[in-house]
Amino acid sequence: ATQRRAKNAWNGWLDERDLAPGEVISNWLKRHTQRGLALAAEYAKAGYDQALLRADQAWAAKALLDSGSPAQEAVDVKQQCDRAVAADAALRQMLTELATQYAEEAKFPKDAESGKAVALWASRYGQAAEMLTAPPATPQRSA
């Protein structure tokens, strides 16, 4: 048995020695390319199976929503919450920008009276922006 393994190893070395360097490299590249393609095919199959599973879940969810169930009401409420949070954030940003703009304008008044009026507006917009605290986090979504 040992002689047979030694003979096979020797003959393998002789066969490889008889090959041109380009053939050795091309054989090596061919083997590794085939392994890589086999692995890529396995990953593609796994990804395809996951995509099918996700599509089945999406169809089931659509059927649930189309049935007019409480799930549809929950989705509608979450969408309303999203719109309210977005409106609060936009209003807060606008008030902060107006306060900053009026504060800058109050630094260079045309006369004392207009400077005081603009500074008053700046403080009112700033107070309004502070009263609107940061909006709550948006509702959680399932993946």
Q: Output 23 or 124, whichever has higher pLDDT.
A: 124
The pLDDT of residue 38: 92
What mean pLDDT is reported for the chain? 83
- Long-range CB pairs of 119-123 (<8 Å, 24+ gap) are 123/99
Distance of CA 107 to CAs 93, 97, 100, 125, 130, Å? 22, 16, 11, 16, 22
* Lookup: tokens for 137: 């986090």
Q: What is the pLDDT of residue 16?
A: 67
Quote the percentage of the chain above a pLDDT of 70: 88
Distance separating alpha carbons of residues 77 and 141, to the nearest angstrom: 12
Portion of the chain with pLDDT greater than 90, in percent: 16
Residue 103 CB partners (closer than 8 Å, separation 6+): 119, 122, 126
pTM to 2 decimals? 0.46
Give the mean model confidence (pLDDT) for residues 111-120.
87
Per-residue confidence band for 56, with pLDDT thresholds at 50, 70 and 90 = confident
The span from the CA of 136 to the CA of 80, in Å, is 13
Q: What is the pLDDT of residues 58-79, one digit of tens each?
A: 888 777 777 777 777 777 888 8
